[in-house]
Amino acid sequence: MRTRFAPAPTGWLHLGHVLNAEYVWSAALQRGEVLLRIEDHDRERSRPEYEAGILEDLDWLGYRADIFPTDAFRAGRCDGRQSDRGQVYRDAFEILRHKGLVYACDCTRRSLLEATAARPGVDTSELYYRGHCRDRNLPLTAGYGWRVRMDPGVESFEDVRLGTQRQDPSDQCGDVLLRDRHGNWTYQFAVTVDDWRQQIDFVIRGVDLLASTGRQIRIARLLGRAEPPTFLHHPLIMKRADQKLSKSDGDTGVRDLRERGWSPAEVIAAARTAGGR
């Protein structure tokens, strides 16, 4: 079994990340290995100082990856940063393009907000794309977003913790954005390609990403992945009943706890307790 720990360097590690690490390394300790991935596809928000802090905190906490350990990142001896994998994503995109499944889009965020608000009785926490540009034949060039068609159809999968799940991406989110108009590969596409190409067969992540699973399974199948990974979506550590911990808010940061004199064992115990482990 191969799983992964995949932080984004858009802030410092906090207790929510530690909880995820506990799930990941506990699973791997029993029957597998961990790959460390730095998900810096968001070039506007990713910062080298955050990556350095993440690597330092992982070492301090005692989490060592079997594939792409922290020293490999520091020495530039690994393929674990998404920012270094642009050609991998481009090659995957070409698979979908040759199948006639992608198209260019110039819709704005405002238009997506309007389309989402116009769907009565539907969860509006996620933007919905209604396929406005599907047949406009815009060029697949810089300056446009690139989308993949999500035709109607249910994706069923078993979550290790939550049981059977059924999702229809066409109803949840519509056609998925693969690359934005600034040339950044999106989270949905990059992680799907990486999990496929890096042979991840057990994805362990927070329940806030549960809604992404069906569309990622669909994209992976369109790319040619025969069997999707197994998924486990674990509880989050919440600041309030309706708000999870946030990197950008500096919530319960590992660095802050270290400066206050906490030991690695105390930080891990706090994360486990707050997450109901």
Span 252-269, pLDDT tens digits:
899 999 999 999 999 999
pLDDT of 218 > 70? The answer is yes
pLDDT value at residue 174: 94
- CA nearest 212: which of 185, 238, 186? 186
- Torsion angle in degrees (nearest 10) through CA of 114, 117, 118, 122: 140
Question: Residue ranges of the alpha helices (H) in the chain?
Answer: 15-31, 48-61, 70-74, 86-98, 109-117, 169-172, 187-197, 213-223, 254-259, 264-274
Region 208-227: mean pLDDT is 97
| Contacts with 189 (C-beta within 8 Å, 6 or more apart), sequence order | 89, 92, 93, 148, 176, 177, 178, 179, 219
pLDDT digits (tens, 9 = 90+) for 103-132: 999 999 888 888 888 777 666 678 899 899
| Mean pLDDT of the residues in the chain | 93
Which tokens hold the place of 112? 């997506």
pLDDT of 11 > 60? The answer is yes
Which tokens hold the place of 8? 């984004």
If you classify domain 1-84+237-277 with CATH, what class do you get?
alpha beta
Distance CA 35, CA 55 (A): 13
Query: What does the domain layout of the chain look like in residue ranges?
Result: 1-84+237-277
pLDDT value at residue 242: 62
pLDDT of 222 > 90? The answer is yes
Which pTM value belongs to this model? 0.93
C-beta separation of 148 from 188 below 8 A: no
pLDDT of 185 > 90? The answer is yes
| Contacts with 210 (C-beta within 8 Å, 6 or more apart), sequence order | 159, 162, 165, 233
pLDDT value at residue 177: 97
- CA nearest 12: which of 265, 257, 253, 217? 253
Confidence band (pLDDT; 50, 70, 90) for 274?
very high
Q: How many residues in total does the chain contain?
A: 277
pLDDT of 191 > 70? The answer is yes
pLDDT value at residue 247: 54
Single-letter residue type at 243: Q
- CA nearest 150: which of 215, 227, 228, 217? 215
Confidence band (pLDDT; 50, 70, 90) for 68?
very high
Confidence band (pLDDT; 50, 70, 90) for 249?
low
Region 172-189: mean pLDDT is 96
Region 96-107: mean pLDDT is 97
Map residue 203 onto helix, strand or coil: strand
Residues of the chain by 3-state class (helix, strand, coil), percent to 5? 40, 20, 40
| Contacts with 272 (C-beta within 8 Å, 6 or more apart), sequence order | 19, 22
- The dihedral built from the CA positions of residue 170, 172, 174 and 178, taken in this order, carries a sign that is negative
The burial of 44, by beta-carbon neighbours within 10 Å (0-12 exposed, 13-18 middle, 19 or more buried), is given as exposed
Confidence band (pLDDT; 50, 70, 90) for 246?
low
pLDDT of 250 > 90? The answer is no
pLDDT value at residue 22: 98
Region 89-94: mean pLDDT is 98
pLDDT value at residue 105: 98
Region 41-51: mean pLDDT is 93
pLDDT value at residue 98: 98
